[in-house]
Structure 1
Amino acid sequence: MNRTAIIAGAGHLPAAVAGALDAPLVCALDGFAPLGLVPDMVFRVERLVPFFRALEDAGVTRVTFAGAVQRPRLDPAVFDAGTAQLVPRLMAAMAQGDDATLRAVIALFEEAGFTVAGTAVIAPDLVPGAGVLCGTVSPQDEADAARAAAIVAALGAVDVGQGCVVAQGLCLAVEALPGTDAMLAGVSAMPASLRPPGTRGLFYKAPKPGQDLRVDLPTLGPDTVMRAAQAGLGGIAWQAGGVICLDRDAMIAAAVDAGLFLWAR
């Protein structure tokens, strides 16, 4: 049996990925329940080796990661002997940041014999290729997107964020630990005197440079479109093939209603 397991976190993405699979095994990290799905298993990082064995017993050969998680606090009293041997490796990776932690987790699953597949492979419709989904992209928008891409690449190189807002070449905000919603809320509250006149600007999103695209892709959805409109922006651009779009049809409908463009760059 060649079954796929979804290693699920919080949010709507696990359900969207499950819809693209035939009878997936849904495995939720304890404390991070997905929306719209009932997990088949709940696991803890402290019991990772027994979890690997449970996946094997269920016929799983491939895993995919979907959903939001935060670094869990580890309870030394819960470790089994096998997982305890992995702790120094995990802790060293965590000390280096999110990217190093994710690379270490992927490596552990692969060493346990599982193929790790990204969302673009499992559910390609969720990761748009290049093109304008709606609206019109002006030459100024193209210039702002190029500027934003350079800024996001610089942010990602130091593991800070995956998005920013640019208008007429000026960076109005960057994404950090509070996330996209907080960044766009800050732009919404920005006095008009601080914003350049003319074009409305754009929100840009992209993976970090060198990021393993099998896990932790940036995600956009209808709520993002709504918040970009509230921030007075002219559109949303993102790296084609590197960003998940949840409910693309609803995103397009919301963007059309708000007069925004959506562009996979």
Structure 2
Amino acid sequence: MTGRLAILAGGGALPAALAVAAPDALCISFAGVPHQLCNVTHEHHFEKLGELFSDLKSEGVSDVVFAGSMSRPPLDPAAFDPVMMALAPRLLSAMQGGDDALLRLVIQIFEEQGFTVRGAHEIAPQLTVAEGVFAGPAPSEAALTDADRGADILNALAPVDVGQGCVVAGGLCLGIETIQGTDALLRFVADTPKPLRRNAKGVFVKAPKRGQDLRVDMPAIGPETVRNAAAAGLEGIVLQAGGVLILDRQNTIEAAENAGVFIMGRVL
């Protein structure tokens, strides 16, 4: 980095983890977006991106990192500042498509303003999962076979920009992560009758979409993911090594050990 880092925060534990890793960073929140940061420096509105860009530049920011979950915000055109007015046609068009298209445009807009967009894994590489068993018991051969099947499914879905996770048991796909997110997927799987699962426990597989820009929307799990996977009767969780963040690591490890669920990093 040549200047200061700004953390543009959404919900979840990731922004706070990055703030610990980069204590000198400028922390930015957005009106109407819940966050867990305790040291927010500035709050901004999506309708006034010009003010955001000016604020970042005045604070000497050269690099930005997008962190945390954020749903597509409702926008009030009457509140747009001149910069947002100019950007609105591009943004509104991208919002009609998948998340990848919108996020690529957001990166492009910030780069056009002279900022370097960095990934959370660049700021805190220790948050990513390495290859091998991270927590819990060793996976069975059946689980590894299901993981391979899950990877094939996610790779096949990547071009249509659907999701970053799926559940496979006994070679059967029990569910795919969609806009509702991981927790909704695992609740759905928990309600699947056992006969449909071929008496196999199955695994949750999570990975970035093929070709995804890891600077934004990098997949992540935490202790709640583990608890939901256990409630769904799964044997374990398989993550793309180096491509998925593990948040609240100690509690995530403890949740896996207590539930007897493995967490594994693997090249998918």
**Shorter-normalised TM-score: what interval?**
over 0.9
In structure 2, the partner of 1:89 is 90
State the Cα distance separating 1:33 from its structure 2 match.
2.6
Given that residues 185 and 227 in structure 1 are in contact (C-alpha distance below 8 angstroms), is that contact kept between their aligned partners in structure 2?
Answer: yes
* Structural mapping, 1:134-213, within 5 Å: 134=135, 135-197=137-199, 199-213=200-214
Given that residues 233 and 260 in structure 1 are in contact (C-alpha distance below 8 angstroms), is that contact kept between their aligned partners in structure 2?
Answer: yes
CA distance in 1, matches of 2:156, 2:85: 36
Tell me the amino acid that sits aligned with residue 30 of structure 2.
Answer: L
Moved more, 152-161 or 69-78: 152-161
Given that residues 120 and 126 in structure 1 are in contact (C-alpha distance below 8 angstroms), is that contact kept between their aligned partners in structure 2?
Answer: yes
Given that residues 7 and 28 in structure 1 are in contact (C-alpha distance below 8 angstroms), is that contact kept between their aligned partners in structure 2?
Answer: yes
CA distance in 1, matches of 2:131, 2:176: 24
CA distance in 1, matches of 2:57, 2:109: 14
State the Cα distance separating 1:138 from its structure 2 match.
2.3
Given that residues 139 and 235 in structure 2 are in contact (C-alpha distance below 8 angstroms), is that contact kept between their aligned partners in structure 1?
Answer: no
Residues 107-159 of structure 1 deviation map (CA, whole Å, 9 limit, x = unaligned): 11111111111011001111122121132122222211110011122233212
In structure 2, the partner of 1:72 is 73
State the Cα distance separating 1:240 from its structure 2 match.
0.9
Paired residue total:
264
Matched residue of 2:256: which SS? helix
Tell me the amino acid that sits aligned with residue 187 of structure 1.
Answer: V
Moved more, 234-243 or 74-83: 74-83
CA distance in 1, matches of 2:99, 2:205: 21
Question: What is the TM-score of this pair, normalised by structure 2?
Answer: 0.94
Matched residue of 1:172: which SS? strand
In structure 1, the partner of 2:249 is 248
CA distance in 2, matches of 1:191, 1:169: 16
State the Cα distance separating 1:6 from its structure 2 match.
0.3
CA distance in 2, matches of 1:171, 1:82: 45
Moved more, 152-161 or 243-252: 152-161
Matched residue of 1:237: which SS? strand
Matched residue of 1:92: which SS? helix
In structure 2, the partner of 1:50 is 51
State the Cα distance separating 1:62 from its structure 2 match.
0.7
Matched residue of 2:21: which SS? coil
CA distance in 2, matches of 1:31, 1:226: 28
Given that residues 207 and 243 in structure 1 are in contact (C-alpha distance below 8 angstroms), is that contact kept between their aligned partners in structure 2?
Answer: yes
CA distance in 2, matches of 1:236, 1:66: 23
State the Cα distance separating 1:245 from its structure 2 match.
0.6
Given that residues 155 and 162 in structure 1 are in contact (C-alpha distance below 8 angstroms), is that contact kept between their aligned partners in structure 2?
Answer: no
Given that residues 30 and 43 in structure 1 are in contact (C-alpha distance below 8 angstroms), is that contact kept between their aligned partners in structure 2?
Answer: yes
Tell me the amino acid that sits aligned with residue 11 of structure 1.
Answer: G
In structure 2, runs of 5+ residues without a counterpart are none
Residues 175-205 of structure 1 deviation map (CA, whole Å, 9 limit, x = unaligned): 11221111111121222222212x4111011
State the Cα distance separating 1:39 from its structure 2 match.
1.9
Tell me the amino acid that sits aligned with residue 141 of structure 2.
Answer: P
CA distance in 1, matches of 2:176, 2:125: 28
Question: What is the TM-score of this pair, normalised by structure 1?
Answer: 0.95
Measured on the aligned residues, the alpha-carbon RMSD in Å equals 1.4
In structure 1, runs of 5+ residues without a counterpart are none
Given that residues 13 and 248 in structure 2 are in contact (C-alpha distance below 8 angstroms), is that contact kept between their aligned partners in structure 1?
Answer: no
Given that residues 170 and 197 in structure 2 are in contact (C-alpha distance below 8 angstroms), is that contact kept between their aligned partners in structure 1?
Answer: no
CA distance in 1, matches of 2:73, 2:155: 27
In structure 1, the partner of 2:261 is 260
Tell me the amino acid that sits aligned with residue 14 of structure 1.
Answer: P
CA distance in 1, matches of 2:198, 2:242: 31
Residues 49-86 of structure 1 deviation map (CA, whole Å, 9 limit, x = unaligned): 22111101011111001011111122111112222111
CA distance in 2, matches of 1:80, 1:256: 51
Tell me the amino acid that sits aligned with residue 179 of structure 1.
Answer: G
Given that residues 205 and 238 in structure 1 are in contact (C-alpha distance below 8 angstroms), is that contact kept between their aligned partners in structure 2?
Answer: yes
CA distance in 2, matches of 1:242, 1:98: 18
In structure 2, the partner of 1:11 is 12
